[in-house]
Amino acid sequence: MAPMMKGLTQFIVDIREAQDAEAEKRRINLEINNIQTKFSQPNLSGYHRKKYICKLVYIHLLGYDTVEFGLSHALTLVESSVFSEKSLGYLAVATLFRVEKIHTITDYLENLLDIIYPSLIKDLQSNNEEFNCLAVQFIANCFNVSNDEGHDSPVHSITKNHEDFPRWQEIVDLVYSLCCSPVSNLRVRQKGVAALLALSKLFPSIIKANNNWIPRILSLVDDPNMGVVVASIPLIQFVAQMEPKYFKSILPSIARRLRSLVVEQQCPEEYYYYDSPSPWLIVSLLNTVELCFLCQETAPSVTLASLDRETINSLREVVAYSIKNASQPVRGLPNRNSQSSILFQTVSLTVFLDASAEAIAGAVEALMSLLDSAETNTRYLSLDALIKLADRATSEGNYYASVRQSFSDNLPKIFKFLADKDISVKRKSLDLLYTVCDAANCNSIVTHLLDSFPHTEANLKPDVAVKIAVLAERYASNPEWYVTNMIRLLSMGDGPSGGSAYTGNEVWERVVQIIVNNENLQTMSCRMISNLLKTHSSSESLVKVAAFILGEYGHKCDFEFISTFSVLYDAYFSVSLITRAMLLTSFFKISARQPDANFVPDIIDLFEAETQSMDLEIQTRAYEYLQLMIEPGKDLASIVLRPFPPFEAKSNHLLSRVGSVHRLSNRPRSSSNVAENKPRSNSDALARLRNDKSASSVALPIPEASDETEDPFAERSEEYTLSPNWYSGYLRMCHYDAGIFYENALIKITYRVIKSGAIFTYRFTIINSAAKSANTEITRLTVLELQGASTTTNPNYIIEMSQYPQQTVTAKTEMEIRVKIRNVVGINESPVLALSFMCGGSFNQLNLKIPVLMLKTLTAATSTNLEEFKKRWLQIGQGLGTIDGESTVVSSTAHRYNSSNIVRLVSRLGLEVVHHSSDDTQNGILVLAAGILHTQSANYGALVTIKSTDDVGCKFEIVVRCTAGGVAGALASSFKVIFDGGF
């Protein structure tokens, strides 16, 4: 562009050669005046308009604000049909539109939409793919707003109540169609997913409102083009986190692609990074898998048990292969960086996949070997990956012993990084020591941290001090060890200013809390503090503890107090005002309890002197304590000297200063995974210390932290819109134990029911009908969800996928669904099976309801005659009454039926026919049947009478009596569905 626009090139040269700011400003003002004159000409060519717009953009980038008049001319370029003019127009609008002059993001978006909306719509609807790319690029760049851009107000999602909702919806619809259409150009799709991600963040409700959009977006992970997949991962992660119930549906696809990339090394040549196949895609896919296990949600979450065996094996194979690769030598730094990045992300998954102890140990060793790297970033990331691995490995897994042993063996190596030249590596090594610390190695870790504390960098000392304090309390083996280490920490915890800059108030306050609340520590602590004051230079934190503890409990000790008092007295004049106030209180308590001591006159003299203090708090305390000492009355003094009550604090404020490790341990995660992989949080450890008999005298009561986190996206699960013609298959499954469940031009699904008491299995065969008509495979066949309507707290039935179908169906594949009936199941509690697949380039989704009825657990009540039937009928009526034990429904059928038809139906459903009328009787149809309903909680007897109420056999009255309340209604409703639907 520069050689073609000589005027632009010369203008830039003139600006760069300006001698000073004034010269530059004069040249710019001259050029602006010239541009304004040129713009006023009616027949300005596109070339000259581009040249002048480029000059204005350059001036704007230099920081001058007088070029806004060029915005309208930039919009003129956007409306051009010439690619170079349109491209520059979009760039100029994005650059010249003043963001900082608009106070809120909402105003910014509204104003930008007002000026660019017509052009955007035109270009998004255009058949020119280059124009499509320019439009979606502009959306991705300019509508991707956040709070870090200088706006005063937070980002507010656009809702249906917004006045611009129709215009936003039209843009989102067009961008979505460009992303998911099979005929869209690859470049348009790659750029379109970035635009759709920006719009989804701005307008999340439209994604949630279109359930059929989400499977299509998630199916992008299966796209045959690697570039589309790479571009789609951020959008897929955002959408899946917005609707976590879809996470499980994409895991099989991700597992297969990961296996093809990592294990089979199948990757287009253009996506190789040196010798590594698309490492950035591998890391993104692994991160998506991690999000599946960590995402907090209200719907059933992803657990290892909920995944099919093929997916689990593929993910485990990827993890094992990545760890193996990272342990082998490679040529060149780029290849090493690629393998290391994959290893870092892989390690995060090992615990979730219930990897073997050998695999965990191998991961630890591979990461430990990377710590020897000369690259600071590699060492930092290795330590970060080790922290994640250690944090997620708990005593509930079979890998915990292996992890603990591996870290214990490598503690000296980790200690070495506390002296690394880079402070970020030092901080990560400290976090790793904090994470891997347990009862076995706590003494070693705390001792090393205390030994290295004087040589630690000043800005790292507060973090070290807090972690020492938490670990010492958490794993204290005996009270003496805890107090010794904490007082040692306080003795060297002062900053250069003499204040408590390193340890902070939280540390010494926590020590005081524990000593006050544990009587057996009080005398020992007094002796220890007294000895330490005599042999060390007194830090202010130690003086504060001494002031409190010696003033409160010093009278219980039998040591000579005069030397200790001298140290405190000398320290009084070098500490802060707050510490002086504490010392005044301590001196008063000491003198009041030892009135004949030699140092009491010195205390009185100090009080008299401080009555003239400039500080009001010091002056007040000194005066009041002096009056208490010289007045003869002892009543008021005795009130002041009452024993300090135990602290009632139930939380450790030190935990708020632990930092990133505490946040990692309390990271929101799947509710079902909390029970299986519960993090070793600090609060949990403190609770364990509380319950440990050997350390119960040290720890204060600390409640366990809750792992429950409110989900910002939690909302009522939306019901699926059932596919056309679903009801015929549903009704057929109610009647028969085998048959066709669903069929269209592309796919055919047959079923067979296998019963076993309260458990029955639906075995489905999915047949590719398009193979014969169009010679086309079904691809990306995915079970999106098996959504049950039963309550999740105490479900009446449990439904699970026992076998998943293959994703690619050439001829046919099978899947199984197992149902366990626990309690009485209502007619409206049947689940919905959501499937998606690709066939012939089209995306298809099926939402089919599967009948989960108590009828499926019916077995015949053998050896029941008519007399016994009548007897039991009366017993139920007398025992439960007609309200609880009986239910009556009336059904009208579309066809005429005789007694034989009813008998065959009743027998097919599992009942034993006790009595039935003949087909030629004139008195109507009467069928009596008996059976047993099976649930996991109990079995129920069922008696059924079916009687026609007209002369032609089209209307029936069905009466059901059962041996438990509520059962008859559920069974009668099922009969009505069958009779109304025809049989």
- Per DSSP bridges, beta strands 738-743 and 747-756 are antiparallel
For residue range 208-228, what is the model confidence (pLDDT) as tens digits?
A: 777 778 888 988 998 889 999
* pLDDT at 500 (0 to 100): 47
Return the half-sphere exposure (C-beta side, CA atoms, 13 A cut-off) of residue 382. Answer: 28
Asked whether the predicted pLDDT for residue 552 surpasses 50, the reply is: yes
Choose among 978, 813, 833, 956: nearest CA to 906. Answer: 978
Asked whether the predicted pLDDT for residue 675 surpasses 70, the reply is: no
Residues 877 and 765 in one domain: no
| Domain-located, residue 256 | no
Residues 819 and 879 in one domain: no
Asked whether the predicted pLDDT for residue 314 surpasses 60, the reply is: yes
CATH number at residue 963: 3.30.310.10
Q: Which domain holds residue 895?
A: 858-981
* pLDDT at 688 (0 to 100): 34
Residues 918 and 931 in one domain: yes
Asked whether the predicted pLDDT for residue 300 surpasses 50, the reply is: no
Give mean pLDDT, residues 679-685: 37
| Domain-located, residue 770 | yes
Asked whether the predicted pLDDT for residue 681 surpasses 60, the reply is: no
Asked whether the predicted pLDDT for residue 779 surpasses 60, the reply is: yes
Task: Name the percent of the chain lying above pLDDT 90.
Answer: 32
| pLDDT class of 559 with cuts at 50, 70, 90 | low
* pLDDT at 689 (0 to 100): 28
| Domain-located, residue 40 | no
| Domain-located, residue 843 | yes
| Domain-located, residue 761 | yes
| pLDDT class of 444 with cuts at 50, 70, 90 | very high
| pLDDT class of 791 with cuts at 50, 70, 90 | low
Q: H or E segment at 802?
A: strand 797-803
Choose among 232, 231, 330: nearest CA to 273. Answer: 330
140: which 2 tokens?
């991705």
Per-residue HEC secondary structure of 13-31 comes to HHHHCCCCHHHHHHHHHHH
* pLDDT at 146 (0 to 100): 61
For residue range 333-343, what is the model confidence (pLDDT) as tens digits?
A: 888 889 889 98
For residue range 930-942, what is the model confidence (pLDDT) as tens digits?
A: 999 999 888 999 9
CA-to-CA separations, 595 to 564, 587, 704, in angstroms, rounded: 16, 11, 46
| pLDDT class of 753 with cuts at 50, 70, 90 | very high
Residues 846 and 963 in one domain: no
Give mean pLDDT, residues 831-843: 85
Residues 755 and 776 in one domain: yes
| Domain-located, residue 297 | no
* pLDDT at 662 (0 to 100): 47
444: which 2 tokens?
């070693």
Residues 916 and 824 in one domain: no
Last residue of a domain, one of 853, 877, 901: 853
Return the half-sphere exposure (C-beta side, CA atoms, 13 A cut-off) of residue 642. Answer: 6
* pLDDT at 614 (0 to 100): 92
Residues 834 and 867 in one domain: no
Residues 784 and 900 in one domain: no
Considering only CA atoms, give the Rg of the chain: 39
For residue range 114-171, what is the model confidence (pLDDT) as tens digits?
A: 999 999 999 999 999 999 999 999 999 998 876 444 443 444 566 667 777 889 889 9
Residues 890 and 975 in one domain: yes
Give mean pLDDT, residues 372-397: 81
Residues 732 and 846 in one domain: yes
Give mean pLDDT, residues 294-319: 75
Q: Please, what is the average pLDDT of the chain?
A: 82
Q: How far is CA 698 from the centre of its chain?
A: 35
- Return the minimum-mean-pLDDT range out of 202-206, 819-823, 887-891: 202-206
Asked whether the predicted pLDDT for residue 705 surpasses 70, the reply is: no
* pLDDT at 211 (0 to 100): 73
Asked whether the predicted pLDDT for residue 404 surpasses 80, the reply is: no
Better-scored residue on pLDDT, 418 or 862? 418
Asked whether the predicted pLDDT for residue 248 surpasses 60, the reply is: yes
Asked whether the predicted pLDDT for residue 651 surpasses 70, the reply is: no
* pLDDT at 658 (0 to 100): 52
- Per DSSP bridges, beta strands 812-821 and 797-803 are antiparallel
Asked whether the predicted pLDDT for residue 568 surpasses 60, the reply is: yes
Q: Indicate the angle between helix axes 376-392 and 333-350, nearest 10 degrees.
A: 10
Asked whether the predicted pLDDT for residue 233 surpasses 70, the reply is: yes
Residues 734 and 793 in one domain: yes
Asked whether the predicted pLDDT for residue 508 surpasses 70, the reply is: yes
Cβ-based neighbour number of residue 242 at 10 Å: 17
Backbone angles phi, psi at 546, to 5 degrees: -65, -45
Give mean pLDDT, residues 294-309: 66
* pLDDT at 101 (0 to 100): 59
| Domain-located, residue 607 | no
Asked whether the predicted pLDDT for residue 763 surpasses 70, the reply is: yes
What's the domain count of the chain? 2
Better-scored residue on pLDDT, 981 or 468? 468
Return the half-sphere exposure (C-beta side, CA atoms, 13 A cut-off) of residue 90. Answer: 25
CA pair distance 176, 191, nearest whole angstrom: 11
| pLDDT class of 693 with cuts at 50, 70, 90 | very low
| Domain-located, residue 890 | yes
For residue range 517-537, what is the model confidence (pLDDT) as tens digits?
A: 888 888 888 888 888 887 766
Across 283-297, 550-564, 613-627, the highest mean pLDDT is recorded for: 613-627
CA-to-CA separations, 273 to 226, 263, 279, 818, in angstroms, rounded: 14, 16, 7, 45
| pLDDT class of 623 with cuts at 50, 70, 90 | very high
Last residue of a domain, one of 804, 820, 853: 853
For residue range 2-45, what is the model confidence (pLDDT) as tens digits?
A: 446 888 889 999 899 888 999 999 999 999 999 999 988 888 88
Give mean pLDDT, residues 919-939: 87
Task: Name the percent of the chain lying above pLDDT 70.
Answer: 85
| pLDDT class of 696 with cuts at 50, 70, 90 | very low
CATH number at residue 766: 2.60.40.1230
Across 502-511, 767-776, 778-787, the highest mean pLDDT is recorded for: 767-776
Per-residue HEC secondary structure of 427-439 comes to HHHHHHHHHHCCC
Better-scored residue on pLDDT, 749 or 654? 749
For residue range 711-751, what is the model confidence (pLDDT) as tens digits?
A: 322 333 445 688 999 999 999 999 899 999 999 989 999 99
Asked whether the predicted pLDDT for residue 496 surpasses 70, the reply is: no
Last residue of a domain, one of 853, 886, 914: 853
* pLDDT at 299 (0 to 100): 47
Residues 838 and 912 in one domain: no
